[in-house]
Amino acid sequence: MATHPRRTRRAAGLLALLAGAALALPACEWDGHFTLLGYTTRPNYDADIKTVRVPIFKNLLVQDNVRRGMEMELTRAVIREIELKTPYKVVGENEPADTELLGTIISYNKAILNRNQLNEIREAETTLAVQIVWKDLRTGDILTRPIQGSVRPATPGMPAPSALPGVGPPPLPPAIAPDVTAPPPEPPPGEPPPVLVQSIAHFRPELGESIRYAEMQNINRLAVNIVSMMEKPW
């Protein structure tokens, strides 16, 4: 009896499908994750790490109405991002943990980008800089790795119109004075230096934005950058 051509094509297609499935089966890993053609369902974070201890960040800034309490808000933002975006569990400061994330706020500055005809701030840029050390408490290894684009030098501010000879009224006092702090402590001998992470935010008073608005933008963006730094390298 002759085989129908349509049945032959169906059988060939079924064999091809089974062959493709057979080739994909070795990509199924023991932990249940699937890898195919360079793509994987595995998380972007080290699965061997289960817990992270995040002590309150140190704050080396001059304490005033703007900078006071910034370390508390930044620590809370980092913990929120870790719990939201990673498989890690944040534990208390006195509880055992696989790793520890330490942070030190070293600078918070403002640069004037634009002024209006009355010498008032039209747009300003703020830069918040933090040193980060992520340490494996089980082995003593430093896990911190910088991420591309996480560090950018602060943009210099435009000179006030009053800085020109015979032009405009006296300059307004800056909302944030330049930081005058002691240099961050050096790392212990044999350990790599901490990673510098920066965030940049803008505020425009004419649109109702304040220095507090820029501060919260800095804190939230910096928390995202820090947690992104905890991902495995691609």
What is the CATH classification number for the domain harbouring 199?
3.30.160.150
Domain count, the chain: 2
Q: What is the pLDDT of residue 90?
A: 96
Structure tokens given for 189: 């001998």
Would 110 be classed as within a structural domain? Answer: yes
One domain for residues 181 and 142: yes
Over 90: is that where the pLDDT of 9 sits? no
Of the given ranges (7-16, 85-94, 195-204), which has the lowest mean pLDDT?
Answer: 7-16
- 117-161 confidence digits (pLDDT tens): 888 889 999 999 999 999 999 999 999 876 544 444 443 444 444
| pTM, 2 dp | 0.68
One domain for residues 97 and 199: yes
CA 213 – CA 61 distance, rounded (Å): 19
Would 233 be classed as within a structural domain? Answer: no
Q: How many CB atoms lie within 10 A of CB 35?
A: 14
Would 210 be classed as within a structural domain? Answer: yes
One domain for residues 16 and 120: no
Q: Which of 144, 147, 141, 143 is nearest to 234 (CA)?
A: 147
Over 60: is that where the pLDDT of 57 sits? yes
One domain for residues 207 and 152: yes
Would 58 be classed as within a structural domain? Answer: yes
Q: What is the pLDDT of residue 157?
A: 41
Q: What is the pLDDT of residue 35?
A: 63
Instruction: Please give the residue that has the higher pLDDT: either 29 or 112.
Output: 112
Buried b (16+ CB within 10 A) or exposed e, 163-192: eeeeeeeeeeeebbeeeeeeebeeeeeeee
Q: Which of 166, 177, 158 is nearest to 115 (CA)?
A: 158
One domain for residues 219 and 119: yes
Buried b (16+ CB within 10 A) or exposed e, 76-114: ebbbebbeeebebebbeeeeebbbbbbbbbbbbbbbbbe
Over 90: is that where the pLDDT of 219 sits? yes
- 160-214 confidence digits (pLDDT tens): 444 444 444 444 444 444 444 445 556 566 666 889 999 999 999 888 888 889 9
Instruction: Please give the residue that has the higher pLDDT: either 10 or 208.
Output: 208
One domain for residues 24 and 62: no
Over 80: is that where the pLDDT of 29 sits? no
Over 90: is that where the pLDDT of 226 sits? yes
Q: What is the pLDDT of residue 39?
A: 64
One domain for residues 21 and 70: no
One domain for residues 83 and 182: yes
Q: Which of 86, 90, 85 is nearest to 51 (CA)?
A: 90
pLDDT range class, residue 20, cuts 50, 70, 90:
low
Q: What is the pLDDT of residue 224?
A: 95
Would 92 be classed as within a structural domain? Answer: yes
pLDDT range class, residue 13, cuts 50, 70, 90:
low
Q: Which domain holds residue 37?
A: 1-42
One domain for residues 133 and 196: yes
Q: What is the pLDDT of residue 11?
A: 61
One domain for residues 72 and 2: no
Q: What is the pLDDT of residue 177?
A: 45
- Helices in the chain by DSSP H: which ranges? 5-24, 70-85, 211-228
Would 215 be classed as within a structural domain? Answer: yes
Q: Which of 109, 107, 116, 73 is nearest to 205 (CA)?
A: 116
Would 161 be classed as within a structural domain? Answer: yes
Of the given ranges (49-58, 98-107, 112-121, 139-148), which has the lowest mean pLDDT?
Answer: 139-148
One domain for residues 124 and 198: yes
One domain for residues 9 and 73: no
Would 5 be classed as within a structural domain? Answer: yes
